Amino acid sequence: MLYEIGDKVLDEWVITRTIGEGSYGKVVEIERNEFGLSMKSALKIISIPGNNSELRAVMGEGIDNKSITSYFYGFVEEIIKEIAIMSELKGHTNIVTYEDHRVIPHEDHIGWDILIRMELLTSLLDYSEEHEITEQTVIKLGTDILTALEVCQKYHVVHRDIKPENIFVSATGDFKLGDFGIARTIEKTTFGMSKKGTYPYMAPEIYQGKESDILVDMYSLGLVMYRMLNDNRLPFFPEYPKKVTYVDRENALYRRIQGETFPKPRHGSKEFGNIVMKSCQYQKEDRYGSILQMKEGIFRWSSIWTVQCRIQWTADQAGGEIIL
């Protein structure tokens, strides 16, 4: 099935628009009308294998059909495990809500379509194009995703793939963490490594093949926050508005993974910039040692910043300086 606009899926849901596409498949908006009420969701559509080229590549290895079926079905099982994690985390404010899924075998050849219905949200990248990203926005983003990581920690889940593409914003302005390992599993079907595509936000210890824990997620979150305070540019990228080339990206990654000290983000206060910088230090022992520590650092500065703003506002209203 091609899953085009107007097609019915999951019984009575209708595809209304395409949100995004990638090598794995696509994400669409779906709508259902019941008793005069319109309900909307996002639907992630994943095809395993992703295309005929992947299937032919495995066949070219001289593997028989039964073994090929077993090989690709293994990836389906991995994705179902990731969906089970999403289901366990359901109901938490700062985690994307899983709602339903279905696995549909291909009728005419080896393969499956996996449909995952989730709450309809705005991606962080789309949100940042339509809204001004202030220091307060980044503070809210940081604390919300740290809250999501606290939930993950309770369930012994390390996300390992925090990046702007996996952060979403609700209609009420809450930031939410999504995509718990599904993208990495899909990438493996093309013989890629599980860390493929995540290099720009990857903690050095993952890149080096070392054991990972929740600190790698805090490091990646720090890089996302850095980017939001730095004209949408990661460390060592050319300053905005200069164009970023492939060589620039590779050079920036190399310098970061080698442990070179970051330049400070171009925007935001010095104090909050220090918090962001500490969260993505090269050595683990130089970072925050826990989610709580990083949260406390953000809350402490946020409270000071709020008081300062109130004092300044009062002074402005009074037409002069307020002396405490």
Query: Per the CATH hierarchy, to which homologous superfamily does domain 9-118 belong?
Result: Phosphorylase Kinase; domain 1 (3.30.200.20)
- What backbone phi and psi angles, to 5 degrees, belong to 162? -80, 125
What are 253's two structure tokens?
């990654």
C-alpha 180 chain-centroid distance: 9
Q: What are phi and psi of 297, to 5 degrees?
A: -60, -45
- Residue 152 tokens read as 């993950």
| Residue 278 in this model has a pLDDT that exceeds 90 | yes
What is the tens place of the pLDDT at every residue in 57-115?
887 777 788 888 898 899 899 889 889 989 999 999 999 999 999 999 998 788 999 99
Domain chopping of the chain, boundaries: 9-118, 123-310
- Compute the average pLDDT of residues 264-282: 95
pLDDT score for 197: 39
More confident call, 21 vs 201 = 201
115: exposed, middle or buried (C-beta count within 10 Å: 0-12, 13-18, 19+)?
A: buried
pTM: 0.86
Which residues have a Cβ under 8 Å from the Cβ of 15 and sit 6 or more positions away?
3, 4, 5, 6, 7, 8, 9, 28, 29, 30, 43
Work out the pLDDT band at 318, boundaries 50, 70, 90: low
Which residues on neighbouring strands pair with residue 273, listed in sequence order? none
DSSP letters for 151-177: HHHHTT------SGGGEEE-TTS-EEE
For residue 9, the cross-strand partners are 13
Facing residues of 32 across strands?
Answer: 39
CB 42 within 8 A of CB 121: yes
Per the document, the length of the chain is 324
What are the helix and strand counts (H, E) for the chain? 10, 9
Amino acid 254 reads Y
Q: Which contiguous run of DSSP H or E holds residue 274?
A: helix 270-279
Q: Is 161 a catalytic residue?
A: yes
* Per-residue pLDDT, 36: 87
Place of tokens 């498949």: 25
The rounded distance, in Å, linking the Cα atoms of 22 and 7 is 20
126-141 pLDDT, tens per residue?
999 999 999 999 999 9
Give the per-residue pLDDT at 17: 96
Q: What is the DSSP letter of 88?
A: H
Distance of CA 97 to the CA centre of its chain: 14
End-to-end CA distance of the chain: 69
Per the listing, tokens 């359901």 go with 90
Catalytic-role residue among 113, 144, 161, 217: 161
What CA–CA distance (Å, rounded) separates 287 from 279? 5
What CATH superfamily is the domain 123-310?
Transferase(Phosphotransferase) domain 1 (1.10.510.10)
Q: Is the pLDDT of residue 198 over 80?
A: no
